[in-house]
Amino acid sequence: MDDLESWLDESYPRAYRTACLVLRSPADAEDAVQEAFLRVWRFRDAIPGGDGRRAWLYRVVVNACLSRLRADKPWRARTDDEVLQRLPAQNDPQRDAEDAALAACIGDALARLPEHLRVPVVLRYYSGLPEKDIAIAIQRRPGTVKSRLAEARRRLSEDPALAEWAGLEVAR
Amino acid sequence: MITDELLERGLGEIGDGYDVPSHAIDDILDQLRPAEDIVPDDDLVPAPRHWPPSRRTWLLSTAAALVVLIAVAFAVGGGGGANRARLQNTSSGAENAVVSAPKSAPQGKTMDSRAVLTSSAPAAAPNAYAQSLTQASGGGSTASSVPPTDSLTKIVQTGEMDLQVDKGKVDATVAKLTDAATGLGGLVANSQTIGGDEPSASVTLRIPNISFGKLLNQARGLGKVLSVDTKTANVTAQYVDLQARLHALGLTKSTYLSILTRASTIGEILSVQQRINDVQTQIDQLQGQLNVLTNETTYATLTVSIDQKTNVKAAVVHHQSGISKAVHRSVSRFVHGVEAIIGAIGPIVLALLLLALGWLLAKVGYRVVRRQMV
């Protein structure tokens, strides 16, 4: 039991922030993760061992988030400007400014992505899940995950601000 | 095209910008711990639910369900063979009692629905059954035909018997039955005789209840008993009810008569007289019913159907050779085997349908549970 507790304790920050990115609301994310963790505890006998454990956890978290999204349609009107204003200060002021601007661009572009593309992007590029684990988390085939990620990247690349960022990266 | 690195960097910035509430995980763990504290002793912890069950568990459960379903299907659908013989013996009750006996199957004759032929029954069975029937119906030299009851109990006894007598002895048997009934203080209520090549007769005898068993015994001695069906009905409640209603109407009539003596005008007299007439009509009706009931409880009724033996079929069978018998038996067994197989198909199909349904439900349930888990 202590092992499960410590695992949940370790997993909470990343799970919470993933939920924040999906839901774009810290309060809803907190509730969703709490609900997800309670489910994990309730069905602790079903937790797979090994590498599958993390994917399974994210599956529960994503489902809790999607349940909230579908029950609360006006989520699209939300803004995470307040989150961007609370970005942690870094030692390099220029880097801080760049990161803040990049985060604002990606945040805006991410908000425009539909849910079925946004969730894989968050899981892949924030949570760091491989495609096979994302497939488990969203209960789709790995091929579907791959195509959704490609579609998401294509749409993000069409965003003018992000395209500019992409050009800068290439120039560097 | 936007790079993975850029996306990771941007999303990392956004995600890490969210402050993790320090109390949140503690709150969650606080909610979880009480559930754990409820169980103080490991010995009391129930075995953890392993869901989904292992493949072995699924197989064992399916096999057990299959066995149970097949057993239930056979129990419901019936697994008996075509040759299964049913013997319905005596059923008795306070209100109604039915006694049936096995009989030989006369060719071309409808069998009594309560008397079922058993081809495997020993030849002596009818006689043994007749003995038990005699005891059950209270017959014999020592027992009364009426079950031991108190003086108020009113029983209506009826019986039907199929007799087979030797050729040319139908009329003589009718005469012997008539003598037996009159000798026991009874009478012939109805008699019908059919002549021709295959003569038969039907005789309805009314005898005192107490002599019913004796008459049955005597009738059995006149030929081969193919079937006997006796019934007894307890009509005590009906009898007592009629008596009580008659008593009450008698009191009412007495009251009206006393009123009649005090009537002074013609109108009053006519009015009371009309009431008395109405009561008297009811009394007469009830008294008639009581008389009929009394007659039925005083006299038992036995209907005997008589026909004569015919041995045409027996002669044909008698001339069959051993090989012919064997072929006949083989064909008969083949047909019975096919009947048994067809009879068993129904329960098996039912079991398969139930299994398919159970499998579908289990699959749906499994999916629902899995969905709830996550």
ipTM: 0.79
A44 pLDDT above the threshold of 60 = yes
| Average pLDDT of span A89-108 | 72
Give how far Cα B301 sits from Cα of B157, B176, B205, B208, Å. 6, 17, 6, 9
Residues linked to residue B100 through DSSP beta bridges, in sequence order: B229
> A2-171: which CATH number, 1.20.140.10, 1.20.140.160, 1.10.3720.10, 2.60.34.10?
1.20.140.160
A114-133 residues touching B, CB cutoff 8 A: 121-122, 125-126
CB < 8 Å from A in window 34-93 of B: 35-36, 48-52
What pLDDT is attached to residue B110?
A: 35
Query: Residue A98 burial by CB count (10 A; 0-12/13-18/19+): exposed, middle or buried?
Result: middle
CB contact under 8 A, A88 and B8: no
| B27 touching A (Cβ < 8 Å) | yes
Higher pLDDT, B348 or B372: B348
Q: What is the pTM of this model?
A: 0.39
- Asked if A166 has any chain B CB less than 8 Å from its own CB, the reply is yes
Asked if B186 contacts B212 with a C-beta cutoff of 8 angstroms, the reply is no
Q: Give pLDDT, residue A115.
A: 87
Say if the Cβ atoms of A126 and B50 lie within 8 Å.
no
d(CA A56, CA B251): 92
Which candidate, B123, B84, B129, B86, places its Cα nearest to that of B230?
B129
Predicted confidence at residue B58, as pLDDT, reads 77
State pLDDT tens for residues B81-97.
Answer: 444 433 333 333 333 43
Q: What is the mean pLDDT of residues B19-46?
A: 64
Q: Count of CB contacts below 8 A, A vs B?
A: 128
In three-state secondary structure terms, B227 is strand
pLDDT of A75 higher than 70 = no
Q: How confident is the model at residue A52 (pLDDT cuts 50, 70, 90)?
A: confident
pLDDT of residue B98: 38
What is the arithmetic mean of pLDDT over B228-240? 87
**Nearest Cβ partner of B25 from A9, A21, A163?**
A9
Q: Average per-residue pLDDT in chain A? A: 81
For B247-272, the pLDDT digits (tens) are 999 999 999 898 888 888 888 899 89
Nearest to A102 by CA among B286, B288, B333, B8: B8
Distance CA B315, CA B58 (A): 63
Identity of the residue in A8, A17, A56 whose CB atom sits nearest the CB atom of B15: A17
The pLDDT value recorded for residue B359 is: 92
pLDDT at residue B117 greater than cutoff 70: no
Contacts of B23 in chain A (CB under 8 A): none
Write out chain B residues lying below 8 Å of A5, CB-based: 29, 32
Q: Do B10 and A20 touch (CB under 8 A)?
A: no
Could you tell me if B3 lies within 8 Å of chain A, comparing CB atoms? yes
B51: nearest CB among A16, A46, A169: A46
B19/A26 Cβ within 8 A: yes
Q: Which of B17, B21, B36 sits opposite A88 (nearest CB)?
A: B17
User: Contact B6/A163 with Cβ under 8 angstroms?
Assistant: no
Residues of A in contact with B40 (CB under 8 A): none
